[in-house]
């Protein structure tokens, strides 16, 4: 059976993805900062919970040594947003630096650390959960720190797509939709179930030609 | 006499900006981290009859940027966020240095944000009211592809910092528009400098002459966009 590793698996899209892949019989490695508080994750049959703070490079390396099995899908889902919405001149730069660390650098670090696990698997997918807010062409404004971190993530994904093509690894940047989660809020457009199922379908049908690209949960290509 | 403030002017494209604007009779405020070590810049400044002022601006030091903004109490027609850094070409996948990545993001992304915030009042009370962010073809997601003019892969730190900077330009534009300020990303091309390397075909005088033409003709209708030194609008 194939294996998926999911970061930020304790809630939202991460948790729902863990449920859906486990239901399909996959081995799910569910990573989160506080396993003690991740009862919902641990309760899913077929999920192994791992403690991981993705901004801790040494911890990422340690987990990569601990896990020896191939990983078919590396799902970099852990992320944070900038809240409250900062205006020009009022941005908290240390918070911004933290968003860049968790949203941009950590997914790249995971790709470096788990490169060999993915390379040895059958499906060889690295899935970065990005956002339409990482689209520079998106006409909306605000949330500048979050937006910059996701644009930078998309660039890392595009570059990884080139560098890892020789290993047969497909790298996807995906907008999961505006989802009713803690991050998306209660008035968002779609449920976590719809989002996770859509992302999963896109991953299942991913081709090498798509590598490095930016897609939404329905498989539509998004503008940079 | 119009005025320009440029960061990172001790060498390369920044120094060429100072040279050309000074020759053209502009008032030039030339920022660099260590004015005491900027021999070529200082020598150039002494030939301008006081029109060029060299000032310490370390874009990674917010207090230093604020102090510079207090010291320069005059209108700035064009603010050019030129200071930037890049990792070496032999650093790539598998051996990234995360502390360096953060440094590059602070220099290439936070630096322009700080300088822009500190000097926006100066720009707002000028005639031209233009702010430029020096980006790069390497920061274009569209051009990071096989067959494009930039080799794909590598330079994760620099590329991601410039993509993030492009996002900053796009999303600061509405805020700055309210103050009458035009903000644009500009690409100098692949230029023969310390950063661009000795094999680049384009020389600094040509690139900077092009960029000066582009900046001279930017108005609020161009705000939030990205232009090449030739004047062509560029894809994100």
pLDDT digits (tens, 9 = 90+) for A72-96: 999 999 999 876 666 777 788 999 9
Chain B residue numbers with beta carbons less than 8 Å from the beta carbon of A153 are 160
- The whole-angstrom separation of Cα A55 and Cα A66 is 18
- The whole-angstrom separation of Cα A140 and Cα B224 is 12
- The whole-angstrom separation of Cα B199 and Cα B209 is 20
Shortest Cα–Cα distance, B50 to chain A (Å): 32
Shortest Cα–Cα distance, B168 to chain A (Å): 7
CB contact under 8 A, A163 and B92: yes
Provide residues of A within 8 Å CB-CB of chain B.
Answer: 57, 87-89, 91, 93, 96-97, 100-101, 104-105, 108-109, 111-112, 115, 134, 136-137, 141-142, 144, 147-149, 151-156, 158-160, 162-164, 212, 214, 223-224
Within 13 Å of residue B170, how many CA atoms lie on the same side as its CB? 27
Chain A residue numbers with beta carbons less than 8 Å from the beta carbon of B174 are 141
Shortest Cα–Cα distance, B120 to chain A (Å): 10
Cα dihedral angle (B224, B58, B55, B220), rounded to 10 degrees?
Answer: 10
CB contact under 8 A, B98 and A104: no
Closest residue in B to A136 (Cα–Cα): B167
Chain B residue numbers with beta carbons less than 8 Å from the beta carbon of A109 are 96, 98
Closest residue in A to B100 (Cα–Cα): A105
Closest residue in B to A140 (Cα–Cα): B171
Tens digit of pLDDT per residue, chain B (236 long)?
999 999 999 999 999 999 999 999 999 999 999 999 999 999 999 999 999 999 999 999 999 999 999 999 999 999 999 999 999 888 888 888 899 999 999 999 999 999 999 999 999 999 999 999 999 999 999 998 764 445 556 899 999 999 999 999 999 999 999 999 999 999 999 999 998 889 999 999 999 999 999 999 999 999 999 999 999 999 99
What is the per-residue pLDDT for B148? 47
Q: Return all residues near A92 (Cβ < 8 A) that are at least 6 apart.
A: A86, A145
What is the per-residue pLDDT for A188? 92
Whether residue B125 contacts residue B180, with contact meaning beta carbons closer than 8 Å, is answered with no
What is the per-residue pLDDT for B228? 97
Chain A residue numbers with beta carbons less than 8 Å from the beta carbon of B96 are 108-109, 112
Beta bridge partners of A190: A179
What is the per-residue pLDDT for A86? 66
What is the per-residue pLDDT for B145? 76
Whether residue A176 contacts residue A129, with contact meaning beta carbons closer than 8 Å, is answered with yes
Tokens representing A164 are 């890892």
Whether residue A223 contacts residue A151, with contact meaning beta carbons closer than 8 Å, is answered with no
| pLDDT, tens only, B131-168 | 999 999 999 999 987 644 455 568 999 999 999 999 99
Chain B residue numbers with beta carbons less than 8 Å from the beta carbon of A112 are 93-94, 96
Residue of B102, B153, B168 lying closest to A162 (CB–CB)? B153
Q: Which one-letter DSSP state was computed for residue B93?
A: T
pTM: 0.97
Closest residue in A to B119 (Cα–Cα): A89
CB contact under 8 A, A155 and B172: no
Shortest Cα–Cα distance, B39 to chain A (Å): 33
Whether residue B165 contacts residue B108, with contact meaning beta carbons closer than 8 Å, is answered with yes
CB contact under 8 A, B172 and A147: no
- The whole-angstrom separation of Cα B49 and Cα B25 is 10
A with B: how many residue pairs have Cβ under 8 Å apart? 116
| Residue B89 burial (10 A CB sphere; 0-12, 13-18, 19+) | exposed
Whether residue A73 contacts residue A203, with contact meaning beta carbons closer than 8 Å, is answered with yes
Residue of A100, A144, A158 lying closest to B141 (CB–CB)? A158
| Mutation for B interface: A155, A209, A224, most B CBs within 10 A | A155
Report CA-CA distances (Å) from B202 to B12, B152, B206. 12, 20, 7
What is the per-residue pLDDT for A183? 86
What is the per-residue pLDDT for B149? 47
Whether residue A200 contacts residue A188, with contact meaning beta carbons closer than 8 Å, is answered with no
Residue of A87, A137, A152 lying closest to B236 (CB–CB)? A137
- Residues of chain A short of pLDDT 70, as ranges, are 83-86
Shortest Cα–Cα distance, A201 to chain B (Å): 25
Closest C-alpha among A185, A158, A126, A98 to residue B156: A158
What is the per-residue pLDDT for B137? 93
Residue linked to tokens 């240390």? A94
Chain A residue numbers with beta carbons less than 8 Å from the beta carbon of B163 are 136, 151-152, 154-155
What is the per-residue pLDDT for A88? 74
- The whole-angstrom separation of Cα B92 and Cα B94 is 6
CB contact under 8 A, A155 and B160: yes
Sheet holding A27-32, edge to edge: A47-51, A27-32, A3-6, A73-76, A125-129, A170-175, A214-216
């Amino acid at each position: 059976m194939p294996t998926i590793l999911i970061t930020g698996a304790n809630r939202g899209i991460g948790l729902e993805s863990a449920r859906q892949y486990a239901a399909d019989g996959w081995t799910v490695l569910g990573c989160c900062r506080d396993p003690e508080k991740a009862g919902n994750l641990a309760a899913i049959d077929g999920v192994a919970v791992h403690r991981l703070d993705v901004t801790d490079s040494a911890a990422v390396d340690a987990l990569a040594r601990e896990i020896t099995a191939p990983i078919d899908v590396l799902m970099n889902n852990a992320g944070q947003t900038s809240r409250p919405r900062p205006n020009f001149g009022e941005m908290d730069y240390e918070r911004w630096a933290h968003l860049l660390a968790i949203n941009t650098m950590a997914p790249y670090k995971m790709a470096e650390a788990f490169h060999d696990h993915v390379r040895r698997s059958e499906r060889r997918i690295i899935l970065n959960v990005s956002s339409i807010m990482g689209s520079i062409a998106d006409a909306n404004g605000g949330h500048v720190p979050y937006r910059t971190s996701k644009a930078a993530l998309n660039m890392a994904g595009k570059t990884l797509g080139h560098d890892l093509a020789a290993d047969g690894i497909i790298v996807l940047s995906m907008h999961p939709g505006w989802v009713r989660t803690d991050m998306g809020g209660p008035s968002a457009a779609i449920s976590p179930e719809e989002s996770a199922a859509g992302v999963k379908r896109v991953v299942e049908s991913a081709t090498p030609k798509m590598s490095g690209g930016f897609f939404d949960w329905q498989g539509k290509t998004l503008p940079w | 006499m119009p005025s320009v403030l440029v960061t990172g002017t001790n060498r390369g494209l920044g120094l060429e900006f100072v040279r050309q604007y000074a020759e053209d009779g502009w008032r030039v405020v030339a920022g660099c981290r260590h004015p005491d070590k900027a021999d070529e810049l200082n020598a150039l400044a002494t030939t301008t009859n006081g029109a060029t002022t060299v000032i310490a601006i370390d874009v990674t030091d917010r207090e230093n940027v604020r102090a510079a903004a207090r010291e320069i109490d005059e209108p700035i027609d064009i603010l050019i966020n030129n200071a930037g850094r890049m990792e070496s070409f032999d650093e790539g996948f598998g051996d990234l240095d995360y502390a360096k990545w953060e440094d590059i993001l602070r220099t290439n992304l936070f630096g322009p944000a700080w300088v822009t915030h500190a000097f926006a009042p100066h720009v707002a009370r000028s005639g031209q009211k233009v702010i430029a962010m020096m980006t790069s073809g390497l920061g274009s997601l569209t051009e990071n592809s096989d067959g494009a003019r930039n080799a794909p892969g590598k330079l994760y730190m620099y590329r991601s910092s410039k993509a993030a900077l492009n996002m900053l330009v796009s999303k600061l534009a509405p805020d700055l528009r309210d103050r009458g300020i035009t903000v644009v990303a500009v690409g100098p091309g692949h230029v023969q400098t310390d950063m661009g390397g000795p094999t680049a075909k384009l020389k600094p005088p040509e690139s900077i002459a092009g960029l000066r033409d582009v900046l001279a003709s930017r108005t609020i209708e161009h705000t939030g966009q990205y232009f090449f030194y030739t004047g062509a609008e560029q894809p994100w």
